[in-house]
Amino acid sequence: MRYWGLLAGKLGVSTAISYGLLALINSLWSPQIYLIKYGWKTSRFGFDLAYTLVVGVWFLITVGLLYLCVWDQRYRCRVCLRRLRMPITTGSWGRMLLVGRPRIEYICAYGHGTLKQEELQISGLENPEWTESGDPWQELCASLKDIDERS
């Protein structure tokens, strides 16, 4: 739930930034112009080259912010929300039957899980596979208890 809350928060902040930029653009130019030839008010977009260019740049910035939100979210731990670390390449095209297709694995530095992402997206964009591991401290403590009981 925290994972999706973080994404919603980032999307909310980027939406607020985009809305603020658009409000700033519209405060510099009035969004509507009066066309004397036709006798009505219409949007400045498409008639005023400078306004249309600035709104086009604003659109690219907005799409870039949304892309950054989703891209950042993909490489975060699903439990602690920290950035995933230590990418390693596994698999081999030459020995695919033995070790599998090439993929990149990221791990959470605190041992919460592993993200496995295919190196080559053959059949479209595939979602990376998140494998959650158990609590590493509990496993470590359990193994220490076993050692204590044996001795």
CA-nearest of 85, 115, 89, 114 to 100 is: 89
Position among 79, 102, 104, 128 found at the interface with Zn ion (CB under 5 A) = 79
Give the range of 13-21, 32-40, 75-83, 93-101 binding Zn ion by CB under 5 A: 75-83
Q: Does 54 bind Zn ion (CB under 5 A)?
A: no
Q: Does 76 bind Zn ion (CB under 5 A)?
A: no
Nearer to Zn ion, 46 or 134 (CB): 134
Distance CA 41, CA 32 (A): 6
Q: Is 44 helix (H, G, I), strand (E, B) or coil?
A: coil
Long-range (24+ apart) CB contacts under 8 A made by 127-133 are 128/74, 130/78, 132/78, 132/79
Nearer to Zn ion, 54 or 84 (CB): 84
Q: Does 77 bind Zn ion (CB under 5 A)?
A: yes
Q: Does 108 bind Zn ion (CB under 5 A)?
A: yes
